[in-house]
Amino acid sequence: MKNRVLYLNRLIELKDKSLVKAITGVCRCGKSSLLSLFEEHLLSIGVKRTSIIRLNFELLEFDSIKDHVQLNEYIVKRISADNKTYIILDEVQLVSEWERAVNSLCINEKLDIYYRLQWPTTKFRIIDLALWKAYRNSYIAAFFQRISRILRS
């Protein structure tokens, strides 16, 4: 796994801020790797494994979570009573109306939410991201590893 220092540092800067952090980009550019690096960072600074809820919807173990209600229920049952809970959602666009669950969860100040979307395969368009940022107090971390590589050369 490549160490994506620039993007990882940005996520670390945004840790515990009252923003929902979104990572988006083209297919196979390292979005999931970035989330794994961030999870490793959380563990390295003493965050307990029980305070991290990581769901990767590409894995069959989460195939039973089909909609926003099931997603919300799954997460709420696992929220740490004593500590801040970090929620990391990977390929969340595979869950129907996932935005509603995230909307509901972001009201809880004890939660720090990170999610990743793949586009252009997702229905969630850039205009939706702009509206989400404007009206939901979210930060959008655009992640274009391949494009940034081209620009540097």
For the stretch 65-116, pLDDT in tens is 999 999 999 999 999 888 999 999 998 888 998 888 988 898 898 999 998 8
Residue 130 domain boundaries: 5-152
Q: What is the pLDDT of residue 23?
A: 82
Q: How many CB atoms lie within 10 A of CB 88?
A: 23
Residue 110: CATH number of its domain: 3.40.50.300
H-assigned helices in 15-59? 31-44
Q: How many structural domains are present in the chain?
A: 1
The full DSSP string for 93-152 is: GGSBTHHHHHHHHTT-TTEEEEEEEETTTSS--HHHHHHHHHHHT-EEEE--HHHHHHHH
- pLDDT (tens digit, 9 = 90+) per residue, 13-47? 889 987 888 887 766 677 888 899 999 999 999 99
Mean pLDDT computed over 6-17: 88
**Is 0.85 surpassed by the pTM of this model?**
no
Tokens linked to 57? 């919807």
Which residue shows structure tokens 């009201």?
107
* DSSP H or E stretch at residue 5: helix 5-14
Mean pLDDT computed over 138-144: 48
